[in-house]
Chain A
Amino acid sequence: MSDPDMTHPARWEFLEKMLLIRRFEEAVGTLANRKVFPGHYHLYIGQEATGVGAMAALDERDLITTTHRNHGHLLARGADPTACLAEILGRSTGLNGGRGGTIHLSDPSLGFLSTSGVVGSVVGLAAGGGYACKQRNDGTLTAAFFGDGALEEGIAFECLNIASLWSLPVIFICENNSAEAWGMAKGGYPTLVHASNDLRSIAGSLNIKATRVEGIDPFAVHAAVMRAAEGCRNGNGPIFIEVMTKRWAGSAPLWPEMATGITDLGMATGATIIEDGPHREWFEVQDPVLRLARQLMASEPDAIEKISTIDQRTTERVDAAARAAEHAPFPAVETASDHVFVPTREMS
């Protein structure tokens, strides 16, 4: 359920985490525009409510899998923004020593398995996570985060089927971020290249309970994942959640653009007038960060001041992370061959 009365105990924590992701992604986009790092990258802007709401519903021992669009999942789970940014810049202090970069951010100390940039693989790795959880029988589960594109791949079908057959404790969280406009031809349902016009039916046909939730609302996502987690922990097998997220205007497939600029929380507090233009609806309705800020303002008299303090703190934190990452050294070239194999243990 959403939280119209704004009484959820984590409401301010949600705002701060969503804002951290937003400011982080804006920093990534800015660094990319300055050509501080090479290659393509994927931003999580517009989907912050999903990552934050979902992660808050998971336990510390649960496992996570994510994809090329992983930054928000790492940060929502508590990864160090400086180490994440340094990884994106390919530095030695990066989360993964510069071996993976933006597409493969992973922190196993927070429960992350390998972060695959191969579309669909995440579904299979998550099934494997669930297999390990079930084998250990310790009440843990694996949560997989992926886009609607993952379901275009055959591996997703194979592993949804296995997860269902073997009743594996996996929450498959499909963040449907298809461009809205493409969906108009399908009666408003957002997917371009799925013959199905209801992604839940794909999981549903394999006897996986499938639900849908509004991805702009962190409380609704949180509640849905809480329910799913309870089911998984009770041995009810996997659950599929389709999270409907609004595609951010800057979300080009490989090369995001800062189409909506740097987020101005004044648009939530009323200090900044939202001008007419192509992104008016985004600012007024779709941006999950502005939306949550407005909801908090409407329910708490001192919200404006708190929002401003949180934003200042978060911006400073990300600025410091970006500075540290940019000044961090590149890995020594002599280490390029490190980590191909785990060194062999002596065996008797």
Chain B
Amino acid sequence: MSNKQTYAAAFVDALLDSMADDNTVSLIGSAPLGLGPERHLTEEIRRRHPARVMDPPTAEGGIASLGAGAAMAGVRPFVDLLTGSFVYLAWTQIVNEAANGHYMSGGKIKVPVTYHCLEGIRGAGAPQHSQSPHAMLWNAPGLEIVIPSTAADVYGLVRTALLNDNPTMILSHARILGIEGDVPAERSPIPFGKADIKRKGRDVTVVALSIGVHHALTAAEQLAAEGIDVEVIDPRTLVPFDEETLLASVARTGRLVVVDETPLRCSAASEISATVAEKGFQSLKAPIQRVTRPDVPIAYSPPLEKALTPDSDQIVEAVRRVVGRPEIIE
């Protein structure tokens, strides 16, 4: 038996259940679901746990630092950094304090802080409210990175983040909050480092992150009509990264397209592609294709923004290229 739920509602359920289970969990942040239509859902957290919802000043570095320190001191703050672009304000606190704390203490200090942001091209965000920091963060050892795509996944992954002992960054795409998905009646934490095959397929492996999973599933339906059977893999966590599921899929299909909304150079798509090139080269029957935003800031003007945003059409084209059927492109 399963129910339908939005990503946003499942996210709130996970916080509510974690806070009920563990009274050291608190929410630092007034609007973890942004200022859009899902905002009201977080009111339930405030209603049930008024003493454990803290409204901070506009100080992303400050709350990131406070969250790291509080975690070192033994409690489990969930720190919301608002828009992904603002994670840069907290960079040294996340990368240099939280992520290094365990290592540089020789394993004596644990930093079980969870950070969250709404990243990505959200619509009219212009250059400064459209950033996706997950690829840059992947270059910061010591940080676990969670990038859920569905209601079922965000529930289980948030639960795990608030149970484990490492600093974790959860990145929710700003346009994913209202997407509905099936959620099981009995829910539990989802272990990090386990990719999920969102669609089985024989011909091409499409690895997609976050909102890219939804674009990839749309593309897969269209390609199925053309007789191309696409497998869609959602890594769900970048750190730890499930190489095994990815390499096994590429071994079956021999073709890989990687979908990621960060700019091309040093994108998560680049790292995933490099991993397959290094460890799965023998399986490949065609060059790997990356579908990302170009190395361009995101423009405000809607047609320009759309032109810069990876979508299902771009995935369809990339898949056609790797299966050697570019002639289908009109």
Interface residue? A94 (CB, 8 A): yes
Known: A340-B102, A347-B163. A129 touches B70 (CB 8 A): yes
Residue of chain A at shortest CB distance from B98: A114
Inter-chain contacts of A98 with B (CB < 8 A): 106
Given contacts A125-B68, A342-B166, A344-B191, contact A162 B109 (CB under 8 A): no
| Contact A344:B73 (CB < 8 A) given known A106-B105, A158-B62 | no
| Contact pick for A125, options B57, B69, B104, B191, CB 8 Å | B69
List residues of B (72-128) whose CB comes within 8 Å of A's CBs.
72-75, 77, 92-93, 96-97, 100-111
Q: Does A142 contact B (CB under 8 A)?
A: yes
Q: What distance in Å separates the Cβ of B284 from its nearest Cβ neighbour in chain A? A: 29
A1-37 residues at the B interface, CB under 8 angstroms: none
Q: CB-CB contacts of A107-119 with B at 8 A, as 1s and 0s?
A: 1110001101010
Residues of B within 8 A of A121 (CB): 65, 92-93, 96-97
Asked if B164 and A126 sit within 8 Å, CB to CB, the answer is no
Q: Are A165 and B75 in contact (CB under 8 A)?
A: no
Interface residues of A in 318-338 (CB under 8 A from B): 338
**A131 and B77 form a contact (CB under 8 A):** yes
Q: Is the CB of A338 within 8 A of B24?
A: no
Decide: B61 and A124 in contact? CB cutoff 8 A.
yes
Bound: A133/B164 CA distance, A: 21
In the assembled complex, the Cα of A63 lies from the Cα of B61 at a distance in Å of: 21
Is B71 engaged at the interface, CB distance under 8 Å to the other chain? yes
Q: In the complex the two chains form, is B164's CB within 8 Å of A125's CB?
A: no
Instruction: Say yes or no: is B192 at the interface (Cβ < 8 Å to chain A).
Output: yes
**CB-based contact B65/A124 at 8 Å:** yes
| B165 interfacial by beta-carbon distance below 8 Å | yes
Interface: A223 (CB within 8 A)? no
A342 with B103: CB separation less than 8 A: no
- Residues from chain B with a CB closer than 8 A to the CB of A116 are 96-97
Q: Can you name the residue of chain A whose Cβ is closest to the Cβ of B112? A: A342
Q: Indicate if the CB atoms of B93 and A155 lie closer than 8 Å.
A: yes
Question: Is A42's CB within 8 Å of the partner chain B?
Answer: no
Q: Could you tell me the distance between the alpha carbons of A341 and B159 in the complex, rounded to whole angstroms?
A: 18
**Which residues of the partner chain B approach A161 to less than 8 Å between Cβ atoms?**
57, 59, 62
CB contact between B104 and one of A100, A132, A154 (< 8 Å): that residue:
A100
Task: Report Cα–Cα, A121/B68, bound state, in Å.
Answer: 10
A114 touches B111 (CB 8 A): yes
* A139 at interface by CB-CB < 8 Å: no
The answer to whether B109 touches A341, judged by C-beta atoms less than 8 angstroms apart, is no
Does B184 reach chain A (CB closer than 8 Å)? no
Any chain A CB within 8 A of the CB of B302? no
User: What residues on A are CB-neighbors of B103 within 8 Å?
Assistant: 99, 339-340
Give chain B residues whose Cβ lies under 8 Å from the Cβ of A345: 163-165
Q: Within the complex, which residue of B64, B104, B165 is in contact with A342, where a contact is CB–CB below 8 Å?
A: B165
Contact with A along B46-58 (1 / 0, CB 8 A): 0000001010110
A127 within 8 A of B: yes
Q: Which residues of A contact B56 (CB under 8 A)?
A: 162
**CB contact between A162 and one of B24, B63, B107 (< 8 Å): that residue:** B63
Task: Please give me the residue from chain B that is nearest to A331 by CB atom.
Answer: B106
CB contacts under 8 Å to B, within A160-181, are: 161-162, 165-166
Which residues on the A side are within 8 Å of B68 (C-beta)? 114, 124-125, 128
Interface check A247, CB cutoff 8 A? no
B104, A158: Cβ atoms closer than 8 Å? no
Task: Please determine whether A155 and B65 come into contact, CB atoms closer than 8 angstroms.
Answer: yes
Task: Report the bound CA distance from A133 to B75 in whole Å.
Answer: 9
- Judge if B148 is at the interface, Cβ distance under 8 Å: no
On chain B, the residues within 8 Å of A213 by CB distance are none
A114 to B176 Cα, complex, angstroms: 36
What separation, in Å, do the CA atoms of A335 and B70 have in the docked complex? 28
**Closest partner residue, chain A, to B165 (CB atom):** A342
**Are B73 and A342 neighbours in the complex by a CB distance under 8 Å?**
no
The residue that A131 contacts in the complex, of B66, B101, B106, with Cβ under 8 A, is B66
Contact of B62 among A99, A100, A118, A124 (CB under 8 A): A124
Chain B residues, CB < 8 A from A342: 102, 107, 110, 164-166
Q: In whole angstroms, what is the CA distance A236 to B111 when docked?
A: 28
Q: How far is the CA of A140 from the CA of B192 in the complex (A)?
A: 34
Q: How far is the CA of A154 from the CA of B66 in the complex (A)?
A: 14
For B67, the closest partner residue in chain A by CB is A128
A108 CA to B71 CA in the complex, in Å? Answer: 13
A347 touches B160 (CB 8 A): yes
Chain A residues within an 8 Å CB radius of B61? 124, 154-155, 158
Which positions in B face A, CB cutoff 8 Å? 24, 26, 52, 54, 56-57, 59, 61-75, 77, 92-93, 96-97, 100-111, 141-142, 144, 160, 163-166, 188-189, 191-192
Residue contacts A-B, CB under 8 angstroms, 14 given: A100-B104, A106-B108, A109-B108, A113-B73, A114-B69, A114-B72, A123-B65, A125-B68, A125-B72, A155-B61, A158-B61, A161-B62, A340-B102, A341-B142
Q: Rank and list the top 6 A-B pairs by shortest CB-CB distance, nearest first.
A: A128-B69, A124-B65, A158-B62, A97-B106, A132-B73, A96-B106
